[in-house]
Amino acid sequence: MTAVLLRRLLALPVVVAAGAVLVFLLPRFSGQDTALAVLRSRTGEADPDPVVLAALRARYGLDGSWWDQFTAWAGAVLAGDLGISYASRTPVAGLLWPALGVSLVLTVASLVVAGVVGVPAGVRAARRPGGTFDRALSTGAVLGVAVPEFVLGTVLVLTFAVTLPLLPATGWGTPAQAVLPVVTLAAFPAALAAQLVRAETIDALGRSHVTVARAKGLSGRAVLWRHGGRLALTSVTAMSGLFLGGLLGGSVVVEVLFAVPGLGRLLYDAVLGQDLPVIQAGLLAVIVVAALAGILAELVALALDPVARGEAR
Amino acid sequence: MPAAVPPRRRSRLRIAAALAVSTVLLAACGGSGEGTGRIVPDGRLTIAMAFGPGAGYAIDTDDAFVLSQLGVTEPLVASGADGRPRPALATEWARTDPRTWRFALRPGVTFQNGEPLTGHAVATALNRLAGVEAPPRAVRGIGLTAAPDGATAVRVTTTAPDPILPLRLSSANTAILAPSAYASDPPAVQGTGTGPMTITRLDGTQSVELQRNETYWGERPQLAGVTANFVPDPAARALALRAGDADIAQELPEATALEFTGDGYVNESVAAPRTASLLLNQSRAPFSDIRVRQAVAAAVDRAALGEQALAGSAVPASELFGPAVSWGSQEPPPPADPARARRLLAEAGFGPSRPLRVELGTYANRPELPTLATAVQEMLRAAGIEATIRVGDYDAREADLLAGRYDMYLASRSYLLDVPDAGATLRTDYTCRGSYNINRYCSPEFDALLAPLTARTDPAARQEVFTRAAAKLNADVVGVPLVHTRAGGVGSQVAGYTVDPLAKTLVVPGLAKTG
């Protein structure tokens, strides 16, 4: 495992550097005039003054070559300076870190809920494939995957904030405000985890070492959880690593619906206003967190799966 | 094998499920909103606002409207949709020479942090505003400079005579902040305004907390405090209102707003100074021929667009200026006449053997536009015009539009540039040298018609010019105004709630919570 960790940590700077090039280039392929977009995000200007546009380009270095702009940005980032937001004219770090923190809490909480609900449900369903619970879970999982977040979120608000006024409908900052966005965001990974664990557990229960364990007199419940469920967890762990990065920057719908001031919403607004420093720093942060989450997930999966651990050596 | 559910239990389950679903749906369709209607002394309100601060509450950006709506800041001059300037922080003003106006300040006014409102403070605020890298529309390009005239007045000078300077100084961007606010960039807004509410806590783009300004110079505010949550999604705002998380929800879609019908609800909807128009490129065929433009105007059923296609969320337009302003048309649009449209097209050489095919472009940033485009396409087809819709990013298309490389474009445009005076829009959009003349319209007669605006100060005299200009644009079929957007909101158990079509006021001293 140490060797795997070292290999991955050595590869991390390469991944981040490649990501940095991409996050620098991608917004520039949008075809938008950044200075014009910045001006319109500030004043909704339909008929901009060319002198003002030129001044903005000069002020933000947008009149230089792409290479000059990239080296200036990358050098500043390496020195720990994420730049100044074009829209708010305040340091990007002051916008990014709070939003990233909110999204991390939202995403990790959603993945924990998804795991707590999805994994036991999948193992339980694998105990009797085709049974009542298995069929109910299959239906629920299909719904969890198919129902869009904006529909599920709305139904949850109507039920738990309007009909039964138990929870607030919008906002962020208190545990009660986190419940509905977390549940909405957790539905999809929970459904996927349940399906994955069910399939993996059924597969594991058919393996020879499980038959041996049964022959040794191990109880059905112990076989199910110790041999089936544990192996299935490796897939769920790997999936969580992938989900963390995706949900971190991609939970825009949930963040907008529940007015959560997270990274998805920050990036959404930044993209609309061509706020390049925020877009670049936000995407780079997502890449770094996703890469770290991937490494962590791989290590956890190795810890859970002795066969894979042997192969990794 | 699964155990079968007994028939009686199954039916109970069905009933329970049906009840749960119907409860949810009933709650979704209705709402309580009931109360005694009595004003709660020192009440508090929570507002779900449609637009939040995008630029750190910088006063030179559109964030100034957020501050103005929340009652935090005030300009020297107030104004309404009637287009007349009224006293605010300045009590009177007069032109002292062709390029200079003197504004006498309201005595005894202090900023929320205790600093006095002086000529020096006002001059500092206005000079800082005029000097930013991208000055706001209200003061752009006029060379504004301000100097104190003693402690109780300020002189404001422009590079050329400006007949509407008092109106310009009614813009939300020209609000006066205390001199200490300008120690930072963007200027600090906590405690530095003069309005009836003071910011006590800023929470980024999520929310802001306000409390009553006990030293406010005007009427004592009814509310002790306000929480404004910035909720960009209209569905989320409606849900927040329904759940009781918000007392006022701004900018709800018309169909959603109509669901709030209980006694305690205040459902407000007013025409905004914004028009969705079909722009017709006059610099090339086919729309260089007025008969073709007239045919398009005759083919479009504007009443159906406003009342059916947009479900009443817009007012059918009969001309560029609508009911949001005192000089706007209150008349219904002319009825559609497809037969006349066909006759005009035939006169212009188009018909079954030579059908008119054009491209109808628009953008989706404003959700009503693609809907309108589809409805217009059908109306044009009924008159014999085949329009192909092209929806794309406006910014990417703008250069083509300004260069005259398009046929027909559906766009939404505010006709007031933050001040209740249409002179700037008329000049940029419709004169021969206009910098935003997408219609490519050029009429020396029209330009001459606008000439008096450079000198006329009296709002009534200026508004007479606006009315004549709109009539001229209609006569020359310079595009086809389709609908005027509505601005609206719903309040629950509130008094004194009105919607400002200019989006400058919301939290006013008279706004109160009712029990």
A66-114 pLDDT, tens digit per residue, is: 888 888 888 888 888 888 888 888 889 988 999 999 988 998 899 889 8
Q: Which of A37, A169, A173 sits opposite B239 (nearest CB)?
A: A169
In tens, the pLDDT along B381-440 reads 999 999 999 998 887 788 899 999 999 999 999 888 678 889 989 998 999 999 889 999
Phi/psi for A47 (5° steps) reads -125, 75
Please state, in angstroms and rounded to a whole number, the distance separating the CA atoms of residues B389 and B375.
11
Residue with more model confidence, B61 or B176? B176
Please state, in angstroms and rounded to a whole number, the distance separating the CA atoms of residues A27 and A288.
18
Residue A133 is predicted with a pLDDT of 87
Cβ neighbours, 10 Å, residue A300: 17
Task: Judge: A157–B239 Cβ closer than 8 Å, yes or no.
Answer: yes
Average pLDDT of the segment spanning A283-312: 77
Taking contacts as CB-CB distances below 8 angstroms, the residues of chain A near B136 are 43
Residue B245: name the closest of A170, A256, A164 by CA.
Answer: A170
Please state, in angstroms and rounded to a whole number, the distance separating the CA atoms of residues B346 and B340.
10
Residue with more model confidence, A248 or B279? B279
Interface test with A, best of B129, B205, B393 (most A CBs within 10 A): B205
Residue B365 is predicted with a pLDDT of 76
Task: Judge: B58–A172 Cβ closer than 8 Å, yes or no.
Answer: no
C-alpha R_g of chain B: 26
Task: Judge: A165–B243 Cβ closer than 8 Å, yes or no.
Answer: yes
Residue A229 is predicted with a pLDDT of 65
The distance of B219 to chain A (nearest Cα, Å) reads: 31
Residue B169 has pLDDT above 60, yes or no: yes
In tens, the pLDDT along B187-223 reads 999 999 999 999 999 988 889 999 999 999 999 999 9
A-to-B residue pairs, Cβ atoms closer than 8 angstroms? 139
Task: Judge: B134–A43 Cβ closer than 8 Å, yes or no.
Answer: yes
Q: Please report which confidence band the pLDDT of residue B4 belongs to, taking 50, 70 and 90 as the band edges.
A: very low
Taking contacts as CB-CB distances below 8 angstroms, the residues of chain A near B23 are 163
- B239 Cβ under 8 Å from any chain A Cβ: yes
- Of chain B residues 273-312, which have a CB less than 8 A from chain A? none
Residue B5 has pLDDT above 60, yes or no: no
Task: Judge: A90–B186 Cβ closer than 8 Å, yes or no.
Answer: yes
* DSSP conformation class of B306: I
Residue A228 is predicted with a pLDDT of 64
Residue A95: name the closest of B184, B63, B53 by CA.
Answer: B53
Q: Which of the residue ranges A60-64, A286-290, B82-86, B488-492 has the most confident prediction, judged by mean pLDDT? A: B488-492
When mean pLDDT is compared across B27-41, B232-246, B481-495, the lowest value belongs to B27-41
Taking contacts as CB-CB distances below 8 angstroms, the residues of chain A near B207 are 171
Taking contacts as CB-CB distances below 8 angstroms, the residues of chain B near A98 are 204
- Of chain B residues 160-199, which have a CB less than 8 A from chain A? 185-186
Residue B17 is predicted with a pLDDT of 45
Task: Judge: B236–A169 Cβ closer than 8 Å, yes or no.
Answer: yes
The distance of B238 to chain A (nearest Cα, Å) reads: 10
Per DSSP, the three-state class of B249 is strand
**A169 to chain B: closest CA residue:** B240
Q: Which of B136, B186, B435 sits opposite A89 (nearest CB)?
A: B186
Residue A220 is predicted with a pLDDT of 67
Q: Please report which confidence band the pLDDT of residue A308 belongs to, taking 50, 70 and 90 as the band edges.
A: low
Tokens, residue B306? 């406003």
**B31 to chain A: closest CA residue:** A162
Task: Judge: B54–A41 Cβ closer than 8 Å, yes or no.
Answer: yes
List of residues 6+ apart from A211 with CB closer than 8 A: none
In tens, the pLDDT along B99-113 reads 999 999 999 999 999
Do B382 and B338 meet the contact criterion of CB atoms below 8 Å apart? yes
Report the percent of chain B where pLDDT is more than 70. 93
- B56 Cβ under 8 Å from any chain A Cβ: yes
DSSP secondary structure letters along B59-122? TTSTHHHHHHHTT----SEEE-TT--EEESSEEEEEEEETTEEEEEEPTT-B-TTS-B--HHHH
- Exposure letters B316-335 (e unless 16+ CB within 10 A, then b): bbbbbbbbbbbbbbeeebee
Residue B15 is predicted with a pLDDT of 38
List of residues 6+ apart from B443 with CB closer than 8 A: B432, B472, B476
Average pLDDT of the segment spanning B35-46: 87
When mean pLDDT is compared across A31-35, B277-281, B499-503, the lowest value belongs to A31-35
Tokens, residue B449? 């018609």
Q: Please report which confidence band the pLDDT of residue B2 belongs to, taking 50, 70 and 90 as the band edges.
A: very low
Do B373 and B362 meet the contact criterion of CB atoms below 8 Å apart? yes
Mean of pLDDT over chain A:
82
Q: Please report which confidence band the pLDDT of residue B356 belongs to, taking 50, 70 and 90 as the band edges.
A: very high
Tell me the ipTM for this assembly. 0.72
Do B126 and B144 meet the contact criterion of CB atoms below 8 Å apart? yes
- B359 Cβ under 8 Å from any chain A Cβ: no
Residue B375 is predicted with a pLDDT of 96
Residue B359 has pLDDT above 60, yes or no: yes
Taking contacts as CB-CB distances below 8 angstroms, the residues of chain A near B203 are 173, 261
Residue B278: name the closest of B309, B317, B304 by CA.
Answer: B317
In tens, the pLDDT along B137-158 reads 889 889 999 999 999 999 999 9
Taking contacts as CB-CB distances below 8 angstroms, the residues of chain A near B244 are 165
CA distances from B394 to B358, B409, B429 (A): 19, 10, 17
Residue B291: name the closest of B412, B388, B383 by CA.
Answer: B383
Mean of pLDDT over chain B:
89
Please state, in angstroms and rounded to a whole number, the distance separating the CA atoms of residues B79 and B92.
13
Residue A307 is predicted with a pLDDT of 64
Residue B14 is predicted with a pLDDT of 44
**B1 to chain A: closest CA residue:** A131
Residue B166 has pLDDT above 90, yes or no: yes
C-alpha R_g of chain A: 24
Q: Which of A49, A158, A168 sits opposite B24 (nearest CB)?
A: A158
Residue B342 is predicted with a pLDDT of 94
Average pLDDT of the segment spanning A173-188: 91
Taking contacts as CB-CB distances below 8 angstroms, the residues of chain A near B240 are 169-170, 259
Average pLDDT of the segment spanning A277-281: 90
**B141 to chain A: closest CA residue:** A49
Q: Please report which confidence band the pLDDT of residue B21 belongs to, taking 50, 70 and 90 as the band edges.
A: very low
List of residues 6+ apart from B460 with CB closer than 8 A: none
Residue B511 has pLDDT above 90, yes or no: yes
Average pLDDT of the segment spanning B280-302: 96
Please state, in angstroms and rounded to a whole number, the distance separating the CA atoms of residues A276 and B50.
24
When mean pLDDT is compared across B32-41, B241-250, B284-293, the lowest value belongs to B32-41
For residue B352, give the amino acid letter. P
The distance of A88 to chain B (nearest Cα, Å) reads: 4
Please state, in angstroms and rounded to a whole number, the distance separating the CA atoms of residues A36 and A56.
9
Average pLDDT of the segment spanning B364-377: 90
Task: Judge: B133–A87 Cβ closer than 8 Å, yes or no.
Answer: no
Residue A311 is predicted with a pLDDT of 62
Residue B11 has pLDDT above 60, yes or no: no
Q: Please report which confidence band the pLDDT of residue A250 belongs to, taking 50, 70 and 90 as the band edges.
A: low
Report the percent of chain A where pLDDT is more than 70. 88
Taking contacts as CB-CB distances below 8 angstroms, the residues of chain B near A163 are 23-24, 27
In tens, the pLDDT along A219-233 reads 666 666 666 666 667
Q: Please report which confidence band the pLDDT of residue B20 belongs to, taking 50, 70 and 90 as the band edges.
A: very low
Residue B16 is predicted with a pLDDT of 42
Per DSSP, the three-state class of A267 is helix
